[in-house]
Amino acid sequence: MIAAPSNRRRSRLLERVLFWVFRIGTYFVLLCATYIFLDIGIKGGRTVFTRTAPFVNVKFLTEPPQTLYVFDYQGKKMELSDREFREWKTTHKEDVDVTSVSYSAGGIWPCIVGTALLVIGSMTLALFIGISCAIYLSEYSRDGRFIRLIRVAILNLAGVPSIVFGLFGFGLFVIFFGWNVSLLSGWFTLGLMVLPAIITASEESLRAVPQGLREGSLALGATKWQTIRKNVLPYALPGILTSSILGIARVAGETAPIMFTAAYAMRDEMPWQVSHWTNFFFQGVMALPYHIYVVSSKIPQNEYTERVQYGTAFVFLVVVMLIALTSILLRERQRRRLSW
């Protein structure tokens, strides 16, 4: 059955129109995301970068958050941070009409440190457990009911909402174990949350190592563990680590699980300022994502707060996106190179 020419022309037109609809839909999504990046990039860039050398707002990146004091003094508008304001008070005795805006002066240094600590601890934990689990699944296990149960559990764990992980961490680590709001609680909560992603990625990399490498090693009389250690893990590890970088982006980006397990809205001491080294693990920290939540919901939006809001969002977005970009680029490269 050959369609009539007019019919064929119409169907070709329809095809072209629909393909354009698909194209527009796709680019619309990309455009929306680009707009977000640009908006935060431009408005946040104003806070983070400066026109004069060293071109980076060092103060914003290296100081703790402070309250901003705004007032008129002799016809001049003064914007002073908490510390500056107290110094100013010692030299100027007169009363001024002050408006104070929380969190809007100073910087975000403790948040950066806190996020880094949370990521390092939870990723160490997740990688350790995740890789071990993946080794068992791909090297030791035979298909059976037990293994299927583990796989179902991993799949379901991946779908548990992050706020439920937060509740769980709060119930188990914070209250039941009595660790309170602390780094340790945050590490475990975040580590367990990202575990399914790490297991899946690691298993994929382990399975990509050709069977011949294992068989050769075993044929030479090596034990199973020697084979894994010498002939499987070294080849799989680069792949495991690359895929795990995306896990880092997720751990760094989540707010809900740390809201009641690890994050403080404000803390004056830095994490290393502890009386005893064991206290290091039992202290809450400030974190970038939680700080964004606090400054965007707990204080009003105006010209003074916008600076810190956009600045924090910018720094956070850049950090997370750089991690994600590294992961995606490395993986693309690896896919091209690694075809055994």
Partner 1 sequence: MSILSENAPARRRRITTESAIKAFFGSNALVAIVVLALITIFLFRDGFGFFGQNLANLRLYRRAGLEYVDIIRTQAQTHAALSRQLGDIRMQESRTLPSGSTLEAFDQFSAAFSDSGEFLNALVSDANDQALALREVLIAAGSASAVSSAEAQPSETAKPTAPVDPRAAMIALRTADEKFAKIAEGMKGKIDNLLAAPPVLSSPKARQSFEKWKKKTRDYVAQFPVVSQRLRQWNANEPVPAYRAITAFLFGRDWVTASFWQDWYGIIPLLVGSIMVAAVALLLAVPLGVCSAIYVSEVAARGEKSLIKPYIEFISAIPSVVLGFFGIAVVGQAVRALSQMPFMKWVPFFPISERLNVFTAGSLLALMAVPTIFTLAEDALRNVPRGFKEASYALGANRLQTIARVLVPASLSGIISAVLLGLGRVIGETMVVLLCAGNRIAIPDFTQGLGAFFQPVHTMTGIIAQEMGEVVRGSIHYRALFMVGLVLFALTLGINYLAQRLVARYRMSIG
Report the first-to-last Cα separation within the chain, whole angstroms: 47
Helix crossing, 162-169 with 183-208: angle to 10°?
130
d(CA 269, CA 207): 46
**Number of amino acids touching partner 1 (CB under 8 A):** 89
What is the x/- site pattern for partner 1, positions 35-74, by CB under 8 A?
A: -x--xx----------------------------------
What is the phi/psi pair of residue 181, to 5°? -75, 110
Q: Which of 75, 159, 178, 221 binds partner 1 (CB under 8 A)?
A: 159
For 9, residues 6+ apart whose C-beta sits below 8 A from its C-beta are none
Told to check if 140 binds partner 1 by CB under 8 A, we report yes
Helix crossing, 303-337 with 5-48: angle to 10°?
120
Q: Give 117 or 174: the residue with its C-beta nearer to partner 1.
A: 174
Q: Give 83 or 229: the residue with its C-beta nearer to partner 1.
A: 229
3-state secondary structure of 286: coil
Residue 54: cis peptide before it, omega within 30 degrees of 0: yes
Told to check if 293 binds partner 1 by CB under 8 A, we report yes
Could you give the C-alpha distances from 95 to 71, 88, 111, 136, in angstroms and in order?
Answer: 10, 12, 34, 71
Residues 215-244 that bind partner 1 (CB under 8 A): 223-225
The interface region with partner 1, picked from 7-15, 56-64, 87-95, 96-104 by CB under 8 A, is: 7-15
Which tokens belong to 317?
């977005």
Is residue 223 left, alpha or beta, with left meaning phi > 0 and alpha meaning psi from -120 to 50? Answer: beta
Q: Which of 99, 171, 212, 216 binds partner 1 (CB under 8 A)?
A: 171
Told to check if 167 binds partner 1 by CB under 8 A, we report yes
Told to check if 149 binds partner 1 by CB under 8 A, we report yes
**Cβ 178 to partner 1 shortest distance, Å:** 12
d(CA 267, CA 314): 22
Which tokens belong to 222?
């090596």
Which tokens belong to 207?
């399975």
**Cβ 47 to partner 1 shortest distance, Å:** 14
Told to check if 195 binds partner 1 by CB under 8 A, we report yes
Q: Give 99 or 141: the residue with its C-beta nearer to partner 1.
A: 141
Q: Give 225 or 272: the residue with its C-beta nearer to partner 1.
A: 225
Q: Which of 12, 86, 89, 333 binds partner 1 (CB under 8 A)?
A: 12
Query: Is residue 241 within 8 Å of 232, Cβ to Cβ?
Result: no
What is the x/- site pattern for partner 1, positions 98-137, by CB under 8 A?
A: -------------------------------x--xx-xxx
Q: Give 105 or 259: the residue with its C-beta nearer to partner 1.
A: 259
